[in-house]
Amino acid sequence: MTARNPIGVHALVWVGGTRPDEIAEAVRRTRAAGFDLLELSLHEMEVLDVADTRRALQDAGLQVACSRGLAFDADVSSDDPEVVARGAAILQDSLEVVAGLGGSVLTGALYSALGKYGRPLTSAGRANVVAVLRDLAREAAGRDVTLGLEICNRYETNVINTARDALRLADDIGEDNVMIHLDTYHMNIEESDFVTPVLEVGDRLGYVHIGENHRGYLGSGSIDFPAFFHALATIGFDGPITFESFSSAVVSPTLSNDLAVWRSLWTDGDDLARRAHQFIETHLAAAASISA
């Protein structure tokens, strides 16, 4: 890899929400653990003090990325125009928050509700996704924000489950500031391996989530991280790599339930994060040495 990847951590490793006191704690602990970037979920953006958070991030020298999915009553993949309109408005509000924070990435399941669907995506629903995200991408371009299509597993969306699904959707949206977001946790469920999707996405890869198959400590599960990091090195990926882990030790009233975070996979977020940072650094260095 020719440049050092920014290494990030999801705020839910530290805190359950985005109130001012929680943001202050997340920023402090992110910096103390040596990360470059803090990812904030916008599921409760109404309590987020945007100006104060921006100052806190800048003072700490941290980059920021924002992520979110939608609710079923504001699902842009719905066939119902009123439901789609609510989702489109939430995405526009989310873009405003990202720009206000000084961020350049809005990613996640921007294309659907985050949850188990009872039927396949309809052609009308997919057309709604394309139209909404095309409009959002054009607005985002004027704010120097890139949209990420995070590929999620079949139990969390019915819109895109594989890299090929995401590439087709991005092609149909047709805007240059729409990138692909890979997540090893979801890849473990849906992809055949950890190399082919990376190579297929290539230079359209813009953001990466690193997580174990059980969402706990990195290296304690079954994911083939050496193969994945080697694939990243092969395509010269130099974008953010963000550690994502969830445990019932830190609970978000909304997102924890959406993601079925029922078990306590860890209790010490500081130890978890320090080890994750070292794990990512080690694998980046090993992959770079092999590719050199």
Amino acid at 201: V
- Say if residues 16 and 45 touch (Cβ distance below 8 Å): no
Number of CB atoms found within 10 A of residue 281's CB: 15
Amino acid at 89: A
> Cα torsion for 215, 157, 88, 63, to the nearest 10°?
20
281 given a catalytic annotation: no
**Could you tell me the two tokens for 106?**
């809005």
Say which of 150, 156, 191, 212 is annotated catalytic. 150
- Nearby residues of 185 by Cβ (< 8 Å), 6 or more positions away: 153, 209, 211, 212, 213, 215, 223, 244
**Could you tell me the two tokens for 203?**
């230079």
DSSP code for 91: H
Cα 261 to Cα 99: distance, rounded to the nearest angstrom: 30
Give the closest residue to 148 by CA, choosing from 102, 201, 225, 220. Answer: 201
Matching residue, tokens 């294309």: 111
150 given a catalytic annotation: yes
Amino acid at 115: G
Say which of 39, 156, 191, 244 is annotated catalytic. 244
* Residues designated as active site: 150, 244
